[in-house]
Structures are given as C-alpha cells and as structure tokens.
Amino acid sequence: MFPERDRPSGPRIRRPHRLNPWHEMQAPMLTDCVVFFLSLLSLAGCAYYLTCIVAARRFFSRPRSAAPVSAVRPASILIPLCGADFQAYDNYASFCRLDYPEFQLVFGVQDPMDSSIPVVERLKENFPHCDIHLVIDSKAIGTNPKVSNLNNMLAAARHELIVIVDSDIRVEADYLSTLVPELADERIGLVTCLYRAGATPNWTSLLEAVGITGEFAPGVLVADFTEGIRFAFGATMATTKTRLSSIGGFAAIADYLGDDYMLGNLLWREGYEIRLGRPVVETMPPPLSFRSMLNHQIRWSRNIRACRPMGHFGTAITYGTVPALLNFIFFASPFTFLLLGAVAALRLFTGWYVGVRGLRDRILEKNLWLLLPRDLLGFGVWCASLTGWSVEWRGRRYRLQKDGRMLPPGERPEP
C-alpha cells in the first residue's frame, strides 16, 4: 500500500521465535529415559524373584541326609546369654526336649548378676536328666562380648561336635537328629540353618518377622544357588572343635560385629564347604520399638556392606517393587500400572513360595501383603546403610570398620 520510504513508523511487533526442535524434544526424551531406567530396575527385580523361586525349588526338593550310625555322635550345644530373652524359659526348654541319644547344654554369661541365671537354674531343676552347665566368666578376648562369652564356654563343652545357637532360638525335637548327619562329610566345615519368627508381640516385631522369610531367606537361597554358602547365621552353627581350631578358634572372630558371618567365611576360606541345613528353627523376637527395629536393620545392613560389599550393592535390585511404584507415581500410564501390578504379584508369590510353602511361616501366611510396605522399609534401610559406619548394639555405639571389625566407643582406628 505504501512505498518503502513511506511505510508507517512505530514499534516493531516481534514474531515469537520458534523453539529449536531439539529443545522441544528434551523433556519427552528425559521422561522416556527415566521410565525406561525404572522399568529396567523393575524387570531386574522380576528376574531376581524368578531366581528365588528356582533356588527355593532346588533347595526344598533336596533329600534329607540319611543318618548312619557313625553320624549320630554326642554334641555340645553352646547358648551364649546376655540378659533374659523374650520367652527365655520356653526357648531354653525346647533344647531339653530334643530327641537325641546324647547331648550337653552349655549356657554362658559374663555378668554374675545376669537376669538369665535364674532362668537357667530353674531349667536345671525341671530337667534333672539333662546335662546342663552354666559358665559365669567375665574374661574378654576382643570387642565382641558374645564371642568372648563363647570362648569362655568352650572349655566346658565335653564333646568334639559343637552347635552354637543364639539365645532367642527355639527348636523342634528332631533338631539335632536332622542337623548332625549333615556334618558327617569331612569336606563340610559348618552347617547353618534358615529360621522363621515364632512370635510377633507388637506391630514392629511383625514388620521385622515378615522380612525374615520374605526377604532374607530368598536372598540366602539365591546365594546358595549361584555361588554356594560362604557364611553362617547365629540361629545355628554346627561344627567341631578341630575345625574351629583350624581358623584360630574364637579369637579369630573376636573383633567382628558379624561373628556368625565370619565364622562361616573363615572356614570356607580354609577350604571347607558351608552347608545350608534342612532344619528350620524359630526366633522369638521381643516387643520392639520402631527405633530399635530400625537400628537392628541398619546394623545388619552395614555389616553386610562391610563383609560383602558387592553383595550389598546388588541388594538394590531385590526391591523391584520400589522402582515400579515410583514409575507409576511419577509417570502414570497404562504401561506403568500394569508393570507395577505384575511386579507386585510376582513379589508376593515369591514370598509365599519361599516363606509359606517352603519354610512353613504361619505369620507370613497371614500377613503376606506386608511384604510390599516391607520392601519400602528395606530399601530405605539399604539407603541409610550407605551413609555411615556407626552401629548401635545392646545399648552401646560402635564404629564399624570396612573389614567388618568394630571399634569400642570412643576409640579411633589406627592410621
């Protein structure tokens, strides 16, 4: 309309610049990458759950060891005490009712005023036919008081075969007759056992109980399936005095927090096989506050981090429900919903197959759904275990070193 020179003057209207197509694609690409990563972690969890099922099927279908006459040999059962446990008398009495030809019970305390002493004295009165011995000795050989207690008790053990058991354990009458034959092979240095909770006095004990057979036991079975057992659990450690001496006795594990783990591991390093036995024992957890339960979980997780760093790192994939849940919360879609449902269903089936069908855990059977919130707690504990080396045990604070040894309160590691 106007010649170029007569064009009206005034503010120029800026046209919006078109965004670079790469910038337009960044947000969707980032979302897709996160969804893909979380989905990959969820599928890795599924692969782990399937491996648990295969490992459990292999273990529970294994025939029980026959008991030749030579395998039925006398045994000394060592039970270290530190204060009367929850339902202490019933726990100890279960060992007095064992259906086994000859065995000895050795209890030990370090404090002459220990509250468990009257319980043991009552046990002696009610089971006069049982060979029961109580050792009271405050001598210490290292930082771990339980190991010092065991070392003091060993001199009172009359038999070559020794079975070390935590004080909160309860057993069935056929416990020794099933356990001892598995040590008949000279290549086996130690036999350890899985366990389940026998009581849940409060809701925090219940939350910890479902984790024993629903989380801990599947991991043990996978380790047995993939590489073999290279450690032991305090619920049961059956070995001999000779094999114990071959690694330097209890003094070799006197400074470790995970004394049970190290006892099995040192025997494995010595060339022995560590066998996961068929007996399943029960632990009787006391009423727990949430804080004490959390401290126990973090202590155990940091101990695994020190003893098995790669295994501890790999534990992250065992919580497959966590990335699946995060995927659905932040990127809700039919795909993430279906993935969450599939992972949760497989997780619950794995817990049922291992804990309920295999280990006969009636507590888990009634509370199977708790495995899903238990996974969230377990993942949180795993994350917390990465943040330090301090642990709390029996009311005292220790600093855990990277090799699994623990330092007394206030002591610093040598440079």
What local confidence, expressed as pLDDT, does residue 376 receive?
Answer: 95
More confident residue, 274 or 185: 274
pLDDT band at 104 (very low <50, low <70, confident <90, very high): very high
Sequence-separated (6 or more) residues with CB below 8 Å from residue 45: 317, 318, 319, 320, 321, 323, 324, 343, 347
- When pLDDT is averaged across residues 227-245 and rounded to a whole number, the result is 95
pLDDT, tens digit, 9 for 90 and up, residues 363-395:
999 999 999 999 999 999 999 999 988 888 877
CA dist 143 → 83, 111, 258 (Å)? 18, 16, 12
Contact (CB, 8 A) for 385 and 294? no
Q: What is the pLDDT of residue 152?
A: 97
Range with the poorest average pLDDT among 4-8, 52-56, 128-132, 312-316: 4-8
Q: Hey, what CATH topology would domain 75-289 get?
A: Spore Coat Polysaccharide Biosynthesis Protein SpsA; Chain A (3.90.550)
- pLDDT exceeds 70 at position 49: yes
Q: pLDDT-based confidence at 68, cuts 50/70/90?
A: low
pLDDT tens digit string along 285-300? 888 899 989 998 999 9
- Residue 402 vs residue 371, higher pLDDT: 371
- Using CA atoms, how far apart are residues 358 and 299, in angstroms rounded to an integer? 27
Task: Tell me: pLDDT of 71 over 70.
Answer: no
% pLDDT > 90, the chain: 71
Instruction: Give CA separation, 232 vs 207, 261, 275, 391, in Å.
Output: 23, 5, 9, 21
**pLDDT at residue 256, as a whole number:** 94
Q: Does 13 have pLDDT greater than 80? A: no
Sorted by where each begins, the domain ranges of the chain are: 75-289
Q: Which residues contact 188 (CB under 8 A, 6 or more apart)?
A: 182, 272, 273, 274, 275
pLDDT tens for each residue of 166-178: 999 999 999 999 9
- CA-CA distances (angstroms) from residue 132 to 32, 93, 116, 194? 66, 11, 14, 26
The rounded distance, in Å, linking the Cα atoms of 350 and 47 is 11
Radius of gyration of the chain (CA): 28
**Cα separation of 377 and 321, whole Å?**
12
Judged against a pLDDT cut of 70, whether residue 21 lies above it is answered with: no
Least confident of 42-51, 65-74, 97-106, 321-330: 65-74
Cα–Cα distance measured from residue 290 to residue 306, given in angstroms and rounded to the nearest whole number: 24
Structure tokens at 155: 């001199």
pLDDT at position 88 over 70: yes
| Residue 410 binned pLDDT confidence (cut-offs 50, 70, 90) | low
pLDDT in tens, 137-174: 999 999 999 999 999 999 999 999 999 999 999 999 99
Pair 114, 108: CB distance under 8 Å: no
Dihedral sign from CA coordinates of 355, 356, 362, 368: positive
pLDDT in tens, 185-200: 889 999 999 999 998 8
At 415 the pLDDT is 46
Is residue 122 predicted with pLDDT exceeding 50?
yes
pLDDT tens figures, 190-230: 999 999 999 888 999 999 999 999 999 999 999 999 999 99
Within 8 A by CB and 6+ apart from 14, the residues are: none
pLDDT value of residue 146: 95
**Where does the pLDDT of residue 2 fall: very low under 50, low under 70, confident under 90, or very high at 90 and above?**
very low
Contacts of 200 (CB under 8 A, 6+ apart): 206, 209, 285, 363
Q: 70 pLDDT exceeds 60?
A: no
Give the pLDDT band of residue 10 (cuts 50, 70, 90). Answer: low
Question: What pLDDT does 313 receive?
Answer: 87
